[in-house]
């Protein structure tokens, strides 16, 4: 089962709208180096396919006019810019939201642990104030080191 293997006998069968495989093969002028790009010359394959290597030709029906698509191009540029801006906002929101959620989870678990230990509401508030003052002291200490 040779689906994609072409043999020499397939060469005669591969004609596209009157153009043979030799007409569509890229030809290289003598003395041309491999590292230099030269646009392909028009060939019988281009005429048969109605294209020039996928690029529209000016003056043909397949060549889009910039004026005809100007509104769509502007809309697409704005949409791309908006998507990039929303991506940045999502990253910033995650950088802020993840630590905030972790801090809230820590405080909730701390309060639930105190309640499970039998603390009264006044003791819980007192311990939360002590926790806040310790966090402020640690933050000022870290900022003083910088």
Residues 6+ apart with CB under 8 A from 11: 21
Distance from C-alpha of 44 to C-alpha of 22, rounded to nearest angstrom:
9
Whether the CA torsion 112, 117, 123, 128 is positive or negative: it is negative
pTM higher than 0.95, yes or no? no
Given a cut of 80, whether residue 80 has pLDDT beyond it is yes
Q: Per-residue pLDDT tens for 1-30?
A: 556 665 555 455 544 445 555 555 555 555
- What is the pLDDT averaged over residues 107-128? 95
Query: What are the boundaries of each domain within the chain?
Result: 14-28+36-63, 70-145
Q: Per-residue pLDDT tens for 38-60?
A: 555 655 555 555 555 555 555 55
Closest by CA to 39, choosing from 50, 23, 55, is: 55
pLDDT at residue 17 in the model: 46
pLDDT at residue 55 in the model: 54
**What mean pLDDT is reported for the chain?**
76
């Amino acid at each position: 089962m040779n689906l994609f293997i072409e043999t020499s006998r397939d060469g005669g069968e591969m004609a596209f709208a009157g153009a043979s495989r030799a007409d569509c093969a890229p030809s290289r002028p003598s003395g041309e180096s491999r590292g230099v790009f030269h646009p392909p010359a028009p060939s019988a394959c281009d005429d048969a396919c109605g294209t020039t290597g996928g690029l529209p030709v000016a003056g043909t029906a397949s060549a889009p006019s910039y004026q005809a698509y100007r509104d769509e191009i502007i809309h697409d540029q704005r949409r791309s810019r908006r998507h990039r801006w929303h991506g940045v906002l999502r990253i910033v929101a995650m950088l802020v939201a993840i630590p905030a959620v972790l801090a809230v989870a820590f405080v909730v678990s701390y309060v639930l642990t105190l309640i499970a230990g039998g603390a009264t509401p006044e003791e819980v508030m007192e311990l939360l104030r002590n926790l806040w003052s310790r966090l402020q002291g640690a933050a000022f200490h870290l900022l003083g080191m910088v």
